[in-house]
Amino acid sequence: MKIHEYQAKEILRRFGIPVQPGKVAATPEEAETIAREFNAPVVIKAQVYVGGRGKAGGIQFGDTPEQARDAANRVLGMDIKGLTVNKVLVTPKLQIKEEYYVGVIMDRASQAPVIMVSAAGGIDIEEVAATAPEKIIKRPMDMRWGLLPEQARQMLADAGMPSVVVAKGGAILTALAKAFLAADASLAEINPLALMEDGSVMAADAKILIDDNALTRQPEFASWSEPEEANPLEFEAKAEGLTYVKLDGNVGIIGNGAGLVMTTLDMVARSGGKPANFLDIGGGAKAEVMKKALLFVARDPQVKGILVNIFGGITRGEEVAKGIIMAQGELPPGMPIVARLSGTGEVEGRALLANAGLMWGTDMRDASQKIVAAISNL
């Protein structure tokens, strides 16, 4: 789950990492009031779930409260990579001398979180990783002890940072690793880690991703979830127990099991169609769930027809067929549906579909070709 910069900084603050004070504004007037409280030049930073805010104009400056209001007026409502800016973080402008990078990311190859440090901070770390990997110092975290302070300092020294950053940044990096584990993060980065003109070191920007699987034991972070900031359909599906991913085509796709659904998408593409979505109904779905899934997929205005591909084990073919029949009356009239049922209850399911005048495919390929043909004949 993505969270905003101001929320990530709140987590860092709780672990003793220095961050500059800041407040969130939803209107230009609020931004002006906050700037007046700080009584200093401020930065207005768009709070959206995408990177590259600076380049998109989502970070602006105001030397006076009036300028802060005008800057917030420009940033609020701005569209950044398809997301509308509804909130800005107002924070005093920093006197930064040098910028560095520190981060912790879950790494599947090492089966552990990996600590990453680079003296080339303030920019896209993925770009540094691609073009100059030698500038990044990496070390997998030992899950028995976490990151030790001496290990953190050594990494910063190895990255060529000045002694003041080795000392103060070491404590920050150790705390960041602790925060990563305690918050059930899958990514936690400070970019830039800033050395200030006055010799202090602080987190000038922060990004944290929370592991979706851990939200049940992180109720506070779960409450930070903002469905309107992400894809609303994907969020709603999750609440209904369905796994939905929006794609760009016009063939709606429903199946059971992630690998099977992914393979169905590939098969539809090979048959000349364009998948509109990925939807996994999971195992053991009843007719009611099937119906819900169909109505859900049909809400995407791009969808012209729907393919249902079920390999029955715990999921029963007749339940799936019943669900399709139940949904029929509520789907847009004339929208073609092709179902392919295999395994448990396939015979009963196909009979139900045939009685209702619905199309079915003998296998995934046949069903894919049928739905693509049906859509092109519309």
Partner 1 sequence: MSILYNSSTKVLVTGMTGREGLFHTKNMLAANTNVVAGVTPGKGGQIIEGVPVFDTVREAVAKTGANAAVIFVPPLGAADSIMECADAGVPLVVCITEGIPVNDMARAAAFLKEHPTTLIGPNCPGLATPGQGKMGIMPYHIFKEGDIGFISRSGTLTYEVVALLTAAGLGQSTCVGIGGDPIIGTTFKPCLELFEKDPHTAAVVMCGEIGGSDEEDAAAYIPTMTKPVIAFVSGRTAPPGKRMGHAGAIISGNTGTAAGKVAALQAAGVPVAETIFEIPDMVKKALNR
Do the beta carbons of residue 34 and residue 23 sit within 8 Å? Answer: yes
Which two tokens mark 369?
A: 């070709």
Give least dist CB 116 to partner 1, A: 14
Rule CB under 8 A: is residue 128 a binding residue for partner 1?
Answer: no
Q: How far apart are the first and last CA of the chain?
A: 39
Give least dist CB 76 to partner 1, A: 26
Indicate which single residue of 142, 158, 240, 330 sits in contact with partner 1 (rule: CB under 8 A).
142
The catalytically annotated residue of 189, 229, 318, 319 is: 189
- The 41-70 contact track toward partner 1, x by CB under 8 A, reads ------------------------------
Indicate which single residue of 62, 113, 192, 336 sits in contact with partner 1 (rule: CB under 8 A).
113
Spatial CA neighbour of 309 closest among 347, 360, 234, 270: 360
Indicate which single residue of 37, 266, 288, 330 sits in contact with partner 1 (rule: CB under 8 A).
266
Rule CB under 8 A: is residue 108 a binding residue for partner 1?
Answer: yes
- Binding-site size for partner 1 (CB under 8 A) equals 51
- The residues that bridge with 338 in the sheet, in sequence order, are 307, 359
Is the Cβ of residue 55 or residue 217 nearer to partner 1 in the bound state?
A: 217
Give least dist CB 160 to partner 1, A: 25
199: how many CB neighbours lie within 10 A of its CB? 10
- Distance between CA 283 and CA 306 in Å, rounded? 20
Do the beta carbons of residue 325 and residue 294 sit within 8 Å? Answer: no
Rule CB under 8 A: is residue 126 a binding residue for partner 1?
Answer: yes
Is the Cβ of residue 7 or residue 264 nearer to partner 1 in the bound state?
A: 264
The burial class, CB within 10 Å (0-12 / 13-18 / 19+), for 178 is middle
Give least dist CB 170 to partner 1, A: 23
Please state the φ and ψ torsions of residue 245, each to the nearest 5 degrees.
-130, 125
The catalytically annotated residue of 98, 101, 229, 319 is: 101
Rg value, the chain, Cα: 26
304-323 residues near partner 1, rule: CB under 8 A: 311, 313-314
Which two tokens mark 122?
A: 């303030």
- Distance between CA 221 and CA 205 in Å, rounded? 19
Q: Looking up tokens 């070709």, which residue turns up? A: 369
Is the Cβ of residue 133 or residue 199 nearer to partner 1 in the bound state?
A: 133
* DSSP-derived secondary structure for 257-311: SHHHHHHHHHHHHHTT--B-EEEE--SS--HHHHHHHHHHHHTSTT--EEEEEEE
The reply to whether 189 belongs to the active site is yes
Is the Cβ of residue 75 or residue 320 nearer to partner 1 in the bound state?
A: 320
Indicate which single residue of 39, 55, 134, 216 sits in contact with partner 1 (rule: CB under 8 A).
216
Rule CB under 8 A: is residue 257 a binding residue for partner 1?
Answer: yes
Give least dist CB 211 to partner 1, A: 5
134: how many CB neighbours lie within 10 A of its CB? 7
Give least dist CB 172 to partner 1, A: 20
Give least dist CB 52 to partner 1, A: 14
Tally of residues, the chain: 378
> Between vectors from CA 247 to CA 311 and to CA 338, what angle results, nearest 5°?
40
Q: Annotated catalytic sites, by residue? A: 101, 189
Residues within the interface to partner 1 (CB under 8 A): 106, 108-109, 111-113, 126, 130, 141-144, 181, 184, 186, 211-214, 216-217, 243, 245, 247, 255-263, 265-270, 275, 278, 280, 311, 313-314, 342-344, 363-365
